[in-house]
Amino acid sequence: MSAPIIAIDAMGGDFGPHCIVPASLDCLAESPSLHLALVGQSSVLEELVSRHKGVDRSRLLIVHAEEIIGMDEKPAQALRGKPQSSMRLALELVREGRAHACVSAGNTGALMALARLVLKTLPGVDRPAMMTAIPTREGTCLLLDLGANVDCSAEQLYQFGVMGSVAAQSLGIASPRVALLNVGTEDIKGNQQVKGASLLLQRARDLNYQGFIEGDGLFRGDADVAVCDGFVGNILLKSSEGLVQMVAWRAEALFRRSLMSRIVGALALPLLRQLRADLRPAQYNGASFLGLQGIVVKSHGAAGREGFRAAVRRATEDVRHNLPQRLHSRLEDLLVSQRSDNSGDDVTATGGSPSN
């Protein structure tokens, strides 16, 4: 395909353009084929860009946006009250074909609501899901949903499983192992939504469904795709990030406790540094919104420069793999036909709305 063009909501996140602009320019410098559109208050963006020498302005467009969506604003306010927000205009660049993807570190609920309004969902998809890769013993596992849908029906969990499988295939996994995150591996465990989703996934054609998986199995690498509602997924993701930081802190404190421990720590320091580098959350930052008629990647609101770079790279990879088209061709068969096959079954449950 042609050179990827990524639209950046430069005003979102906890640190706003003072973090996002330098991170975006880093990506521009490291990828000669990349083009970026920074969307936000043009005077602020121009001033920040001017601080960096050697920027290839032929690959950088600044699009002015009058309004900013706050991190604590309700999605309904963003939908109705701010038609000229940086987030909305970045999404509209994707809809108009002027960009291949949108990246934002802004309000999650607002981004989901605006993305559904501006880009629409793929046929057969009720709600998009947020997906990211988390580290396991041997590699990574794709986890979804991460917080866009705090309550999910069985049908929606089933859709997430199918979309996650397609996304894993785009990464080169021929037959991804799909599992439902649950409080146990036995069939009798779990709530009605999880049990219903399991029945639907068992019936899906050409889907390598493994059944239920617990949290420890996820980190062992027992599945390539782990499915849960956004309430569970968000807690799991944040807890795992906190655990990595706690273990690193405790290890450093232990090696400082005595002269002998400092000597041992000095010998172990290279391994500890490598472990921390392998597990640091920033390199896994960037959650793809699956199920939209366009590519949208959500960066963690508190992501720093390194983390936002990872989110832009995630969007670039999704563009390279043409993820929406892959999803559309696969979902059209699996989701629409499955819904027809199960039209008389009582396996669905009421879902909720996106979280902030």
pLDDT confidence band for 81 (50 / 70 / 90): confident
Q: Which two tokens stand for residue 159?
A: 């859709």
What is the DSSP secondary structure assignment for residue 137, as one 8-state letter?
A: S
The overall average pLDDT reported for the chain is 86
Predicted pLDDT at 149: 86
Predicted pLDDT at 349: 46
Per-residue pLDDT reduced to its tens digit, 168-178:
988 889 999 99
Domain 1-119 identical in fold to domain 126-282+323-356:
yes
Domain residue spans of the chain: 1-119, 126-282+323-356
Can you tell me the distance from the alpha carbon of 334 to that of 160, in angstroms, rounded to the nearest whole number?
12
Q: Phi and psi of 320, rounded to 5°? A: -60, -35
Can you tell me the distance from the alpha carbon of 222 to that of 219, in angstroms, rounded to the nearest whole number?
8
| Other residues' Cβ atoms within 10 Å of the Cβ of residue 326 | 16
| Helices (H), ranges, the chain | 17-30, 42-50, 75-81, 86-95, 108-119, 154-170, 192-203, 215-220, 230-255, 259-279, 305-320, 323-341
| Contact in structure between 328 and 123 (CB atoms under 8 Å) | yes
Can you tell me the distance from the alpha carbon of 8 to that of 241, in angstroms, rounded to the nearest whole number?
25
Distance from the first to the final alpha carbon of the chain: 35
Can you tell me the distance from the alpha carbon of 108 to that of 117, in angstroms, rounded to the nearest whole number?
14
CB proximity list for 237: less than 8 A, separation 6 or greater: 132, 134, 143, 146, 147
| Contact in structure between 315 and 295 (CB atoms under 8 Å) | yes
Q: Which two tokens stand for residue 277?
A: 């580098």
Can you tell me the distance from the alpha carbon of 225 to that of 106, in angstroms, rounded to the nearest whole number?
26
Asked if pLDDT for residue 235 goes beyond 50, the answer is yes
Q: What average pLDDT does this structure show over 267-288?
A: 68
Per-residue pLDDT reduced to its tens digit, 63-75:
999 999 999 898 8
Topology given in CATH for the domain delimited by 126-282+323-356: Isopropylmalate Dehydrogenase (3.40.718)
Per-residue pLDDT reduced to its tens digit, 138-184:
888 999 998 888 889 999 999 999 999 999 988 889 999 999 999 98
Amino acid at 243: L
Give the CATH architecture of domain 1-119.
Answer: 3-Layer(aba) Sandwich (3.40)
Per-residue pLDDT reduced to its tens digit, 23-36:
999 999 999 999 99
